[in-house]
Structure 1
């Protein structure tokens, strides 16, 4: 069999697997994921992102894996959609859905790919909690070494795909300065005080939302902010270098679809 090792199990890994499964039968694909849960990708894991943050791509911009994002969301129970604040009117391809929902979609598609691999005569092996410690070039391919439960495992491969994705900065804030807003859940530790955010684009808005929701909540469809009992001192200022706020735009595949939103 032709052996392929993929390091990481996020979106890049999933689309790579989907493409490989279109090849003739006989592939052996090994996926090595360092986290306990595979398939979600770092920006979309519940422990890394805030539940109030939306993905910055609409469902029309997410290429289907085994099914489209919108079809998968439409099939979810009403109770799940209601818990995430998604109404029936939101179920269209230009809507922006919560990041954790996108992560759940990706994870579900990994399960579908595993079934598809078996149907098409391929082998797909997924190792969770298996960080890769070395990739070495050898005659005829590569040797990949991973650490699993204190034991070193070695995998031979003709091809290796490095799909390690995002890397959050490992910075410890000093005197209340955060060099990066990611992962966003770390911002929950910021007290209700005067806060300045350098930048007013998507990451700046994400940071403001994470801090605000740690000290209060949004009501009436997000149009009114209600601070919590300990949030009297909260004051957030977004400082924009250009004085602009971002405008959502959409990628449309051919045939071209008219945009619903446009700016000059």
Structure 2
């Protein structure tokens, strides 16, 4: 049986930033870990699922530019400029010169990540690390052997490690539908294409209108017609054999993502608008941090400055009102961004966004709120159950729609399709009623209690949810032996909250007379160590996979979160003070957030 020190499960962006932060601390890290083993279930290391050419399409556009990607050996723009133009064309990079502020294809980002991965591996070897790369190797289980050693189990071998970092990234189960006309995820996206290269000449239903849904739109649209530019306008011409082709997006609120905006600081920071001490001082005697307290003490002052810069004086007046809380702010700003016709609203927003980008004029309040919620995300274990519910039902949907960053070129594609009558957006909650080879029947319930049924020959669930429930956690032994536990939060006023939020028995659990809300996923501490049934942190296993830890980290998205999470974990591994089997107070653990590295 092989013995090693550190295992990394997964080789996508989170693993990439783990390696980057190990390299930044190579001298100190080498004293603790002489060997690093990386396990990847796919044939090649370094891509990450959203950027892997086996999953994503050449027409899918990344939603991040070079200047927004945290530090790696090269920037994306530098790497692209160094490539042969014929090679870049195969990655659908056709616009030159290469710009730091431009967004490029998803697969070009994947090739860039793979190149950076290889550079980091070679640099770590040069520093004296022994690196084992296990490709086409799926980890099927993890089994603790003692308090300091655990086994990583694959189909053919067992490996022993002193520390294991789970960085598996996105996870999509295979479709289990009984109908060939329904897909419960869009990945890999190639499965959605007509296998005989025939055209879809009917309406296609898509659940969701987020960035992943737009990936489906762009892939299918390019295969059923042609986009062309004329006098700086993009238009779409449907192929004659695709007559009848149309995409219908279904979103509960009838919202399309809002657009990429200019920023003062392209990188988020955990403590940009507050300090660790000031934030922790807001805790109650029961160790809660209430969202409304955070909003009043931290968010309001920062947002007032931002809104004044944006000249949104009406909102400034409201925000200065004593009883104007977070919910009122969300409703006010959402109303400003709601349109009777979302596509026409997008057209107006595109004109404004293009003007602001040309003038390098930021949208201060959006950037500020994103920073504030990024900071809050790393402290949500202090939430009561009530605040977790509020965050998930009100705050998060607002952030995911209004603070979204849809590239302007994606918006141009959507509007070209809209002008060609090839796309539509329907608001209302969707329920799948029947699935059969003759069609997928759905029920649409609108906000006015109206109900409509509709049948699609093809229906795709692009809601973008790949969260892994506690019962479906992929490493079964950890769950069965109690090495991991379910993420949960105590109610502050249990009896009142149960009635107010209409929580069900399935979403709550009672322990020692205390009522808890099940948050989903697994419990972790601030350094991502898995917490066992007794609340004690594992000395071996840290889980950085966002779809495993979404209960305690509900707003962890994108490469900057991958970078911050990896930095926190590596700093924690190097901090002897944290090598303890007992729970450590948040005052000590959050010191790992204050590093010289950009989090």
TM-score of the superposed pair, with normalisation by structure 2: 0.40
Give 1:165's match in structure 2, choosing from 143, 166, 169: 169
Q: 1:18 to 1:85 in 2, by over 3 A?
A: closer
57-66 or 97-106, which moves further after superposition?
57-66
Question: Structure 1 residue 101: deviation in Å?
Answer: 0.7
Q: Which residue of 2 aligns with 1:188?
A: 193
Q: Is the 8 A contact 1:4 1:29 kept in 2?
A: yes
CA distance in 2, matches of 1:263, 1:222: 29
2:101 alignment counterpart:
94
In structure 1, stretches of 5+ residues that fail to align are: none
Ranges in structure 2 where 5+ consecutive residues have no aligned partner: 273-358, 366-599
> What is the rounded CA distance, in whole Å, between the counterparts of 2:253 and 2:35 in structure 1?
51
Q: What are the Cα deviations for residues 5-44 of structure 1, in whole angstroms up to 9, with x where unaligned?
A: 1111111111111212323235200001111111101111
Q: Distance in 1 between matches of 2:254 and 2:185?
A: 21
Per-residue CA distance 1:207-240 (angstroms, 9 max, x = gap): 1112112223323288222333421121123344
- Relative to 1, partners in 2 of residues 1:109 and 1:54: Cα closer, same or farther, differing over 3 Å? same
The alignment covers a number of residue pairs equal to: 258
The separation in 1 between residues aligned to 2:246 and 2:130, in whole angstroms, is: 54
Alignment partners' CA distance in 2, 1:73 and 1:233: 39
Alignment of 1:234-253 (within 5 A): 234-246=245-257, 247-249=259-261, 252-253=266-267
When normalised by structure 1's length, the TM-score is: 0.86
- Greater per-residue helix proportion: 2
SS of residue matched to 1:86: coil
State the match for 2:495 in structure 1: none
Provide the residue aligned with 1:156 in structure 2.
160
Does 1 or 2 have the higher relative contact order (CA < 8 Å, sep 6+)? 1
- Which structure: larger Rg? 2
Over 4 Å off, 4+ runs:
258-261
Q: Hey, what's the Cα distance between the residues in 2 that align with 1:146 and 1:23?
A: 29
Instruction: Indicate the residue corresponding to 1:203 in structure 2.
Output: 212
- Alpha-carbon distance in structure 2 between the residues aligned to 1:171 and 1:115: 38
Match of 1:7? 9
* Correspondence 1:45 to 2:52: yes
Please show how residues 84-233 of structure 1 align to structure 2 within 5 Å.
Answer: 84-89=92-97, 91-139=98-146, 140-147=148-155, 152-173=156-177, 174=179, 176-189=181-194, 191-220=200-229, 223-233=234-244
